[in-house]
């Protein structure tokens, strides 16, 4: 079940990143992230009301707040990178960092996946790198800028995975409330002090809110997955979200898929199969 949940996380993250990247091309990153995170805060609140569980110990809420502060930095860097360059490059590079940080953390804390699962995880990581390659792209200053943004976002997301994975199962989805409350507060201060619009353009509002719903949905699914499976493997599966982003960029925006990216997509599916059968 953890494998299925991890793949659903990747699907939601990838679709959310695609929508966020599209919306950010027309307006400030902070405005887009504020509204998307605010949408997520509203959705988490509704989920908790329907769930009916009381608030957990302060430690889990604190971890949620920490993940929210780290996550908003990651989302801002990612959306800026997606707006500045090719989605087929920025999203996969981000995912490498998002996968490696919790993979190493899981092994450090004593997780010992099977050899087959580790081979599958390695295949998935190679797949991300292949999907990230764009033959013929010049490594100019713009490309380097995109790379820095993507690596920064990936590292941030990796630590978000680790922090959320450290919360207790009994806390339910409450850590996500702390995460969204912290991120919305930080973003609101940023937007107001910068004199940026508080709401996105009318023609992009549905897109921005959709990104927020998908993002918080991915976080909720990740909590369920990491509490059932190993952090080191669930994080790798969750980090396959660029496959979704790249495919959407191909279908919706017409971005071309190169041979290495197609091979990467196939290798990613093979890695998932190995992890699932381990």
Of 80-94, 170-184, 198-212, 220-234, the one with minimum mean pLDDT is 80-94
Q: Are 214 and 68 in contact (CB under 8 A)?
A: no
Of 91-95, 101-105, 178-182, the one with minimum mean pLDDT is 91-95
Residue 106: both structure tokens together: 């899981």
pLDDT band at residue 146 using 50, 70 and 90 as cut-offs: confident
> What's the 3-state SS for 111-153?
CCCCHHHHHHHHHHHHHHHHHHCCCCCCCCHHHHHHHHHHHHH
pLDDT in tens, 208-248: 999 999 999 999 999 999 999 888 889 888 888 877 877 88
CA 18 – CA 249 distance, rounded (Å): 7
Domain that holds residue 163: 1-277
Residue 232: both structure tokens together: 């080191």
Q: Are 157 and 91 in contact (CB under 8 A)?
A: no
3-state SS class at 230: coil
pLDDT in tens, 41-56: 999 999 899 888 888 8
Number of domains in the chain: 1
- 265 C-beta neighbours (distance < 10 Å), count: 19
The yes-or-no verdict on residue 63 having pLDDT over 90 is yes
Which pTM was predicted? 0.84
> Phi and psi of 277, rounded to 5°?
-90, -5
């Amino acid at each position: 079940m953890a494998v299925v949940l991890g793949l659903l996380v990747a699907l939601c993250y990838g679709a959310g990143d695609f929508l966020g990247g599209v919306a950010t091309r027309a307006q400030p990153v902070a405005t887009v992230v504020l509204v998307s995170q605010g949408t997520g805060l509203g959705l988490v609140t509704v989920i908790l009301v329907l769930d009916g569980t009381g608030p957990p110990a302060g430690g889990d809420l604190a971890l949620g707040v920490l993940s929210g502060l780290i996550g908003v930095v990651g989302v801002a860097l990612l959306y800026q990178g997606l707006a500045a360059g090719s989605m087929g490059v920025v999203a996969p590079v981000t995912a490498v960092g998002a996968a490696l940080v919790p993979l190493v953390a899981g092994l450090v804390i004593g997780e010992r996946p099977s050899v087959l699962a580790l081979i599958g995880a390695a295949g998935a990581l190679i797949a991300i790198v292949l999907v990230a390659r764009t033959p013929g792209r010049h490594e100019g200053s713009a490309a380097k800028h995109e790379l820095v943004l993507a690596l920064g976002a990936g590292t941030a997301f990796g630590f978000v995975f680790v922090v959320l994975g450290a919360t207790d199962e009994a806390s339910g989805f409450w850590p996500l409330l702390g995460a969204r409350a912290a991120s919305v507060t930080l973003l609101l201060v940023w937007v107001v002090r910068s004199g940026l619009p508080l709401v996105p353009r009318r023609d992009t509002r549905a897109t921005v809110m959709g990104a927020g719903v998908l993002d918080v949905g991915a976080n909720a699914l990740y909590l369920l997955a990491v509490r059932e499976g190993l952090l080191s493997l669930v994080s790798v599966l969750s980090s396959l979200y660029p496959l979704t982003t790249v495919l959407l960029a191909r279908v919706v925006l017409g971005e071309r898929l190169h041979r290495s990216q197609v091979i990467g997509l196939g290798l990613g599916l093979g890695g998932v199969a190995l992890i699932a059968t381990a």
